[in-house]
Amino acid sequence: MAYIELEKTEYQPLELAGLILNNIDDYIFLFDSAGKLIFFNKSAEELMSGLKKDWRELYYTELFVTSKDLIALIQKGLVEERLFHCKDINLEFHGNINVDVSIFPFHAKNRVEGIIVSIRKNLSIIDKDDFHFDSLLTILSAIAHEIKNPLTGIKGAAQLLKELETNQDSRQYADFIMREVNRLDSILSDYLSLTLKPVLSDLDIHEVIEQALQVMGSDIKDKKIIVERFYDPSLPNIKGDASKLLQVFINLIKNAIEAMAKTKRGRKLSITTKPAKEYMVFYGNSTNRNTPSEPRKQRWIMITFEDTGEGISRENLSKIFLPFFSLKTGGTGLGLALSKKIIRDHGGTLMALPKSKKGALFKVYLPF
């Protein structure tokens, strides 16, 4: 094991220990022997930032009140004063997260003075898919390029055949070939456009939502759907790609319409915009080594789409953003996956949440 000669560094031992803990992505908590929170690192602070209570004075039974398994594990660690590991524990912080937990006795002055809880968030199946989604799109793009080139030749040959052929049946076959080539070319062009990053400019998110409602206006009218708007006019403009965000909103509205088509009454789509209560804290690197970096809060606007359709089962909630997974007959399973990628390219997130009553609820978070 190698040690740093601390006298040659600009940090004192305690300061260096704090810096190390605050650069660890794991959520680190220290509780005293009575179970009261006395220390947490920056990752843990971000995790708890949305809590309404003053979490600085909480006991572990209050902080982790939604997880009986974690409470029992910490209690066992405090009583038996030994190390424990546990995998796949569910916590309720800004939604349900799956974590692995390690419990360590905290030794000071030759006795156990408390317990250290180290929590590591597991990648969900959706996050894992996000991680590989860019690679998937690269493959799709390469395949699309390879197919488009011979399509041009096929289309040209069909056009020439139609001009030279006098037989009516042969000319109809040539027309059919050209129609199918154009359809396939349109699909491939859509795939190719997916790999393009958004071109950001100032935009009013309400204008984009209204444009999406206008595009889907005929279907909304035909299905006799009531649209409720709850817009916050004080929201600032954001940096975004209007055409790509329009694609996301059209897809969410279209899904809501299709979900409500099977219901006989009470068809209602509610769209809400407001500042999100959640925020993220960034700790950037300071250009001056002697000046600590200042934390920066990232705020979000939240757009919710809530319908009164058939809803989504909890089982399928974990799958609907997976590429090629679809609940619709004949669906490609790309709409929501690509919508999530577009929002992710904007620095935001798209999520589906369970509802106690029928219907679906989607939330879009975009930074401002």
The enclosing domain of 299 has a CATH number of 3.30.565.10
Is 292 a domain residue? yes
Q: Which residue has the higher pLDDT, 96 or 116?
A: 116
Task: Band the pLDDT of 296: cuts 50, 70, 90.
Answer: low
Mark whether 110 and 140 lie in a shared domain.
no
Its domain, for residue 163, covers 126-194
Mark whether 264 and 359 lie in a shared domain.
yes
Share of the chain above pLDDT 90, in %: 26
CATH of the domain at 91: 3.30.450.20
Is 1 a domain residue? no
Is 304 a domain residue? yes
Final residue belonging to a domain, choices 69, 89, 122: 122
Final residue belonging to a domain, choices 122, 154, 176: 122
Judged by average pLDDT, the poorest of 26-40, 268-282, 320-334, 344-358 is: 320-334
Looking at residues 124-146, what average pLDDT do you find? 64
DSSP 56: G
Structure tokens at 37: 């929170």
Mark whether 20 and 71 lie in a shared domain.
yes
Q: Which residue has the tokens 């909480």?
A: 58
Give yes or no for a contact between 346 and 198, defined as CB atoms under 8 angstroms apart.
yes
Mark whether 40 and 92 lie in a shared domain.
yes
Q: What's the total number of domains in the chain?
A: 3
Looking at residues 252-260, what average pLDDT do you find? 93
Cα separation of 331 and 348, whole Å?
Answer: 26
Top-confidence range, 12-16, 211-215, 350-354? 211-215
Top-confidence range, 91-100, 111-120, 126-135, 199-208? 199-208
Looking at residues 51-69, what average pLDDT do you find? 77
Pick from 75, 71, 109: nearest CA to 89? 71
The SS3 assignment for 99 reads strand
At 366, give phi and psi (nearest 5°): -130, 135
Pick from 69, 71, 73, 60: nearest CA to 30? 60
Residues shown for the chain: 368
DSSP 36: B
With b for 16 or more beta-carbon neighbours within 10 A and e for fewer, the 329-343 pattern comes to eeeebbbbbbbbbbb
Mark whether 208 and 355 lie in a shared domain.
yes
pLDDT value, residue 263: 82
Task: Band the pLDDT of 288: cuts 50, 70, 90.
Answer: very low
Does the predicted model carry a pTM greater than 0.75?
A: no
Average pLDDT across the chain, whole number:
80
Final residue belonging to a domain, choices 194, 222, 249: 194
Mark whether 153 and 245 lie in a shared domain.
no
**pLDDT value at 267 more than 60:** yes
Beta strand pairing status for 361-367 and 349-353? Answer: antiparallel
Is 312 a domain residue? yes
Q: How far is residue 320 from each of residues 234, 252, 254, 323, 337, measured CA to CA in Å? A: 33, 12, 15, 8, 8
pLDDT value, residue 134: 66
